[in-house]
Structure 1
Amino acid sequence: ANNLLSLVAEFYDEHTLAKTDDPAAQSVVQNKGTQLRLQQEVLGGTWDALVSNRADLVIGATGDAPAGAGYSHFSLNECTMVFVVPPGHPLATAEEPVGSTDILKYRAVAIADSSRHLPPRSSGLLTGQEVLTVPDMASKLEAHIQGLGIGYLPLFWAQAAIDARQLVVKSVGATPNRAIQQIAWRSDNQGKALKWFVEKLRQPVVQQRLLRCH
């Protein structure tokens, strides 16, 4: 049997592949000889799961790949990140771009890195900044809306709250506002199921189904 541990990162709907009506996809999902396991990881946890053999395939890994061999990867897209604050926050009316000195005065909201072996990663935090750590992106979005902290969100997660005027986007100068999404897999896995998924994920039409970042 082919054991494919398919890991779907935080930016994607973990059920997208299973819900597809593609006949070829259904043949893989329904094949009794193929075992699929979908799970979510955060930040460096995506790479950690891959290099520690907890996963054979990663969809949506972010950041630089860890040092070492044993896996292959290619870029999927770049996701727009926005720095958000609630409307009543002091930074909501601050002059732009907002400087790090001003940002440091206020609590940030961050998602806990799910790495078990690799050093945990963080993103968009300043040294010495007070941080509220939450378990997932949905909790992070809600924490921002409730005024519990400031920080970065993928635009597709924040857009509805921005449109509803629950969050305000602020320019923060030279800080990068794009996150590269990657597909990565274990090179030593020669299984047919993994090969099929990698080939499918290279197809633009399949990538468009997965992508919710713009």
Structure 2
Amino acid sequence: MFLRTTRSVSLTLAGQHLLEHCRQWLNWLDAMPDELQQISEGVERQINIVINNLLYQPQAAADLLTWLHQQYPFTRFQISRQVYMGVWDSLLYDDFHLAIGVTGSESLSNNISLLPLGEIGWQFVIAASHPLAQHPAPVLSDDILRRYPAINIEDTSRTLTRRVAWLLSGQKEIKVPDLSTKLACHLSGLGVGFLPERMCRPYVESGALVVRDVVNPRRPSPLSVAWKVAESGKVVSEIAALFETKNVLINGFLRMVDRPFI
């Protein structure tokens, strides 16, 4: 463990490794009384939260995590971002305790509690420079639309049946990983499709995007907060209460929701 010379004594690599672990053990022992007290009060040791890509906002996630860490310093937190049925998939089949933005307003399981958040409205938009922006037809038919690529975000579900947001038979599909990329593809004139009303509103007002009527418009998407009843401790209940009481801390997650239920 030690290297001795005539003038000094130093640790070997094994000694340094042991010293580091001893420090970790001492820190763990120092924190153990408070950690045990938290567990006895019904506070979970680990909380995993999945967020719908439509509602995910980095600052909102950071604000929630900061608040949670301050309230529950001995609880470990993990956040995941998923798309469409991937949110339900994570909650039902993975080790996630709460989901922000599951699709629908009804639970897929008797063991899952649900709190409706509201609906996201959609607009069919294209770049001002796109050929369809000046098309003479007042309502664009499917035959007209399928000539141009649809920009879509792929459903991340692994167990549940995946959904396709919007794609016509015979139409080329270009898949992107998130809403920001989808928006950029629309703005560049690469393809066509639907975007959340609130997201595209400033670009429509500036003239960068053009809204067109289509034969088959996309219906609003209801979203909810969902959590596992059996695994709900103090932290999960506290997060659900933030949404139920309309706490300002969760406002960032509702930026895309234009018809809120809560």
Give the TM-score, by structure 2 length.
0.72
Deviations 1:132-179 (A, max 9, x none): 000111110001111111001112221232223221111124523422
Identity of aligned residues (%): 27
Structure with a larger share of its residues in helix: 2
Deviation of residue 70 (structure 1)? Answer: 2.6
1:48 aligns with 2:89: yes
Q: Partner letter of residue 211 of structure 1? A: L
Q: Would you say the 8 A contact 2:52–2:101 is kept in 1?
A: yes
Structure 1, unmatched stretches of 5+, are none
Q: Would you say the 8 A contact 2:50–2:87 is kept in 1?
A: yes
**Structure 2 residue aligned with 1:72:** 113
1:8 aligns with 2:51: yes
Q: Partner letter of residue 48 of structure 2? A: L
**Structure 1 residue aligned with 2:22:** none
Deviation of residue 66 (structure 1)? Answer: 7.4
- What is the aligned counterpart of 2:125 among 58, 66, 84? 84
C-alpha distance in structure 1 between counterparts of 2:107 and 2:193, whole Å: 25
Superposition map of 1:59-208 within 5 A: 59-63=100-104, 67-94=108-135, 95-206=137-248, 208=251
1:113/1:65 Cα in 2 relative to 1: closer, same or farther (>3 Å)? farther
Deviation of residue 40 (structure 1)? Answer: 0.7
Deviation of residue 56 (structure 1)? Answer: 1.2
**Structure 2 residue aligned with 1:39:** 80
**Structure 1 residue aligned with 2:253:** 210
Q: Secondary structure at the match of 1:40?
A: strand
C-alpha distance in structure 1 between counterparts of 2:140 and 2:105, whole Å: 27
1:29 aligns with 2:69: yes
Comparing both chains, which one has the higher relative contact order based on Cα–Cα distances under 8 Å and sequence gaps of 6 or more?
1
CA RMSD across the alignment: 2.3
Deviation of residue 90 (structure 1)? Answer: 2.4
Deviation of residue 51 (structure 1)? Answer: 0.7
Q: Secondary structure at the match of 2:121?
A: strand
Q: Partner letter of residue 188 of structure 1? A: A
Structure 2, unmatched stretches of 5+, are 1-38
1:5/1:14 Cα in 2 relative to 1: closer, same or farther (>3 Å)? farther
Runs of 4+ in 1 over 6 A off after TM superposition: none
Q: Secondary structure at the match of 1:139?
A: helix
Larger radius of gyration: 2
Deviation of residue 63 (structure 1)? Answer: 4.3
Deviation of residue 17 (structure 1)? Answer: 4.7
1:49/1:125 Cα in 2 relative to 1: closer, same or farther (>3 Å)? same
C-alpha distance in structure 2 between counterparts of 1:190 and 1:61, whole Å: 17
Deviation of residue 36 (structure 1)? Answer: 1.5
